[in-house]
Amino acid sequence: MDANIKRFSMDYFSLKGKIAIVTGGNTNLGMSYAIAFAKAGADLFIPYFLEDLSETREAIESEGRRVVFLKGDLTDRQYRKDVVETCLKEYGKIDILVNNAGMGVFADFLDYSDEDYEKVMNLNLNAVYYLGHEVGKVMVKQGYGKIINIGSALSYTADGQCPPYVISKHGVIGITRDFANELGKYNIQTNAICPGFFATDVNKAVQDNKPLFEKISSRLPGGNWGTLDSLMGTAIFLASKASDYINGWNISVDGGFTTIL
């Protein structure tokens, strides 16, 4: 038998001893990645913005894992540097980065303001590049790392609700491929998760728009929006040794939405 087959074990999926940064890891999808990582053995560093922390803290600590929170705005350059420095001070390394924080501002295309365009692009696209770039420098020194960017079904399609959301999420795929190309030689893998539709704050306007909600639901082969536990296994996989030979790709967790005409 090939020696590599022989050495494979379920430990390839373990995150024991790993340190993971999950931006926006105290709400909704981000919370699901953070708790998934804690269950797989990682300690967490969570950059957060505005919301309550108690639920996330309790869930992570009840797994016997440690979590450190740092409040701030990821569109701010100094805060992004503080995230990296504080994580290094607290834990000494960064094994995993999940660029999850994101937003949408919904308005008709012809009325869309430049200010809202810039606000969404600065968080969903630019902050993903800049934080990934800062963390990438640390991972290069370490000689390994995993970067997971959060795209969307709207990384492949457009929905006429929020132009910069569609544009930025397409851009997240570009960042993912570029980082894979640049950082692959340092044993750093960069991949994306593209979630479909999960009922959270970010798409409240879609949920409230009945015709759009029904159009989306009718395009889901199973007919149902996603539940937050359905992303956790994919996040663990992409953060773990089990995915070491996957680099620059996007895994759609969307119930088949982007496969249907």
For residue 110, state whether it binds ligand NAD (rule: CB under 6 A).
no
For ligand NAD, the binding residue among 14, 200, 207, 230 (CB under 6 A) is 200
For residue 73, state whether it binds ligand NAD (rule: CB under 6 A).
yes
Candidate ranges 10-18, 21-29, 175-183, 215-223; the one touching ligand NAD (CB under 6 A): 21-29
**Which residue lies nearest ligand NAD, judged by its C-beta?**
102
For ligand NAD, the binding residue among 125, 135, 147, 150 (CB under 6 A) is 150
**What is the C-alpha radius of gyration for the chain, rounded to an integer number of angstroms?**
18
Residues sharing a CB contact under 8 Å with residue 185, sequence separation 6 or more, in sequence order: none
For residue 103, state whether it binds ligand NAD (rule: CB under 6 A).
yes
Q: Residue 231 Cβ, how far from ligand NAD at the closest point, in Å? A: 9
Q: Residue 243 Cβ, how far from ligand NAD at the closest point, in Å? A: 20
Is the distance from CB of 19 to CB of 96 less than 8 angstroms? yes
Is the distance from CB of 119 to CB of 162 less than 8 angstroms? no
DSSP assigned state of 198: B
Q: Residue 216 Cβ, how far from ligand NAD at the closest point, in Å? A: 10
Q: Classify burial at 51, counting beta carbons within 10 Å of its beta carbon; exposed 0-12, middle 13-18, buried 19 or more.
A: middle
Q: How far apart are CA 126 and CA 172, in angstroms?
A: 9
Tokens of residue 214, six digits = 């029904």
For ligand NAD, the binding residue among 45, 197, 237, 257 (CB under 6 A) is 197
Q: Residue 75 Cβ, how far from ligand NAD at the closest point, in Å? A: 5
Strand order in the sheet with 96-99: 67-71, 43-48, 19-22, 96-99, 145-150, 188-195, 250-253
For residue 152, state whether it binds ligand NAD (rule: CB under 6 A).
yes
Q: Nearest-CA neighbor of 146 among 74, 88, 98?
A: 98
Q: Residue 128 Cβ, how far from ligand NAD at the closest point, in Å? A: 9
Q: Is 165 a catalytic residue?
A: yes
Termini Cα distance of the chain? 44
For ligand NAD, the binding residue among 56, 176, 191, 203 (CB under 6 A) is 203
Q: How many residues in the shown chain lie near ligand NAD by CB under 6 A?
A: 26
Decide whether 103 or 238 has the Cβ nearer to ligand NAD. 103
Q: How far apart are CA 15 and CA 43, in angstroms?
A: 9
Decide whether 102 or 164 has the Cβ nearer to ligand NAD. 102
For ligand NAD, the binding residue among 100, 161, 189, 240 (CB under 6 A) is 100
* Torsion-angle region of 145 (φ positive above 0: left; ψ -120 to 50: alpha; else: beta): left
Which positions are catalytic? 165
- Residues in the site for ligand NAD, rule: CB under 6 A? 24, 26-30, 49-51, 73-75, 100-103, 123, 150, 152, 195, 197-198, 200-203
